[in-house]
Structure formats: C-alpha cells, structure tokens
Amino acid sequence: MRATARLRACLALLCWMAAPATQAADSATRSPQVEAIIAAISPQRIEARVRKLASFHTRHTLSKTVSETRGIGAARRWIKAEFEACSKAAGGRLQVAFDAFTQAPERRVPQPVEIVNVVATLPGTQAGAQERHYVVSGHYDSRASDVMDAEARAPGANDDASGVAAVMEIACAMAAHRFDATLVFMAVAGEEQGLLGAAHWAEQAKAQRLDIAGMITNDIIGSSLPMTVRVTTVRYACLPTACRHCWQPSEARMAQARRPRASKSRPSPVRGAKPTRPRINWGAISRKPGSAIFPASRWT
C-alpha cells in the first residue's frame, strides 16, 4: 500500500534522527533495528484504528465527554488505553498521560472548554542525548462542514483518524526498542478550532526549555496525493508533501517554505470537466457498512 510505504519512510526518518550519531552518519548501512521496526508495522491495525476512531459519531472538540461510545471524551480514553496496552506489551517503557488544560473562549470556542492531548513518551537511554526530543503527532478531533456544530456526524476517518492511527502504530512499533534521544508521540485535540492542543503543548515545552530537535506531524495521510506530512528540525524547516522530500533540503525548497501561503480560493469548476485525480470519501465508511477504507485501486 502506498500510504503504508510512506509511513514506513517516515518511521525510518524518525529512527535515523534519534539514532546514535555514528549510526546516523553511516546511511549506507541497513540498520537491523530499523528493519525490525518497519517489519512490525501492520496495515491491518492501522485500518482497524481508523475505523474505531470513525465510529465515535463525532470527535468535535466541543462535543460531550461523558459517553463511552460517542464524542471526543470516549475517543481520547480509547486512544490512551491503546497506548497503555502497547506500553504494557513493551515492558512499561512508554509513559502515557493526558495533557489537559482549560481553553478560554475565542473565535471558535464560545465558552471555556477542557482540551486534552494524549501523550506517550519513550524516554531516551543515552546521557547527554536523552534531553533531545523528537515529536510525532496527529490530531484526533474532527469537524462537520459547520466548524461550530458539535453534534453533527463527523467521523473524520481521513481528517485525522488516519494520522492518529499512524502515530499510534509508530509508537507501538518503537516502544520495544531503545533510542538515545527521547521520542514523544501525541494525539492532540482542538486542531479544527485553531491548533489549540498543539499550541498548548508547544507553550509548555518552551516554558520547560525542552530541546525539541525535530517534529513529524501527520494530517490526512494517504487519502490522496500528495500526502500531508510536515517535518521540522532545528537545522531546517520545510513543509513537504512526502517524507522523502526532506531528506536533502535545498535552498530553493527552504525559500519556498518561507514564502507566504497562497490564497485558499480556487477557481470555479468547469461544467463537464474531468477531475484531475480520484478522491476517496473516507467519511463514507460510517454511512455505508462494509465500504473499504483502503480501496485496492488507490493503495496497492
């Protein structure tokens, strides 16, 4: 599957960044550790987790939290339980916790609301290197067409259960291994309301003077081309359409990343015009029982 291949490429990049300097420098040598981690990636588990996240009706940041089967509260408790299960299988090395805070009212938050990130930390093992942190994230909240509608059906299979499922799979695959640097796996909330959960965690990291050496964030991965994977390191920053674009950053690409974003407005479609590329309606999996998340025509 194309998306799984790209996920494996991102995982290899993460292993390379967190590896000892001598191992990272010898890029021509295939690492048995990296090979073992990549072999542990399961497309079936990723699909199952996407389906589970899509089953909560909505994961809107403002949705109710008391139900065990519906809303963002049920979703975050399930994510935490999955991380904890992976930690137990790996001997308890993955440190799992909620990162909760109360968000004050703002443009997309009409009243104070508790926002909770789910964070799983794999501590580094090398003195002097364990202070370096590499972060992998995806956002688990979802939205309907009306960003303020917290009750409408919003399965969010692509945006962004796909990214969260990838983060969970990477965390579980890497938890059984040891790395010099510290790895942080996060499922953040409040993204659709204004990047609120990620901003809170970043503010806390800055206040604690954490050494954030790099970050990979996954949003709507694999549903169409190009896949959205953003990679940031202390050496350079870029917004690639795939992980491979960041292996050798060029001056042109760095300059492109610094340019102001183009307007989101798009020309009106021409009647009768053919689409430039096929699209997958990931949300349909909650309306059509049995429909495939990973159609063979797009994923093989």
The reported pLDDT for the residue numbered 119 is 98
| pLDDT, the chain, mean | 77
- Chain segment 136-171, per-residue pLDDT in tens: 999 999 999 999 999 999 999 999 999 999 999 999
The reported pLDDT for the residue numbered 168 is 97
Q: Looking at beta carbons, which pairs linking 170-173 to residues 24 or more positions away fall under 8 Å? A: 170/7, 170/10, 170/11, 170/14, 170/41, 170/136, 171/83, 171/86, 171/94, 171/120, 171/122, 171/136, 172/40, 172/45, 172/82, 172/86, 172/89, 172/90, 173/11, 173/37, 173/38, 173/40, 173/41
The pLDDT of 204-211, averaged and rounded, is 94
pLDDT at 272 over 60: no
In which band, very low, low, confident or very high, does the pLDDT at 284 lie, cut at 50, 70 and 90? Answer: very low
In which band, very low, low, confident or very high, does the pLDDT at 120 lie, cut at 50, 70 and 90? Answer: very high
| Domain boundary assignment for the chain | 2-22+32-246+284-294
The reported pLDDT for the residue numbered 215 is 92
Q: Which residues are registered as beta bridge partners of 211?
A: 132
pTM above 0.95, yes or no: no
C-alpha span between 152 and 114 (Å, rounded): 20
Looking at per-residue pLDDT, the higher value among 106 and 228 belongs to: 106
In which band, very low, low, confident or very high, does the pLDDT at 224 lie, cut at 50, 70 and 90? Answer: low
- Chain segment 58-88, per-residue pLDDT in tens: 999 999 999 999 999 999 999 999 999 999 9
The reported pLDDT for the residue numbered 4 is 58
Span of 37-46, 82-91, 271-280, 282-291 with lowest mean pLDDT: 282-291
CATH placement of domain 2-22+32-246+284-294: 3.40.630.10
In which band, very low, low, confident or very high, does the pLDDT at 10 lie, cut at 50, 70 and 90? Answer: low
In which band, very low, low, confident or very high, does the pLDDT at 259 lie, cut at 50, 70 and 90? Answer: low
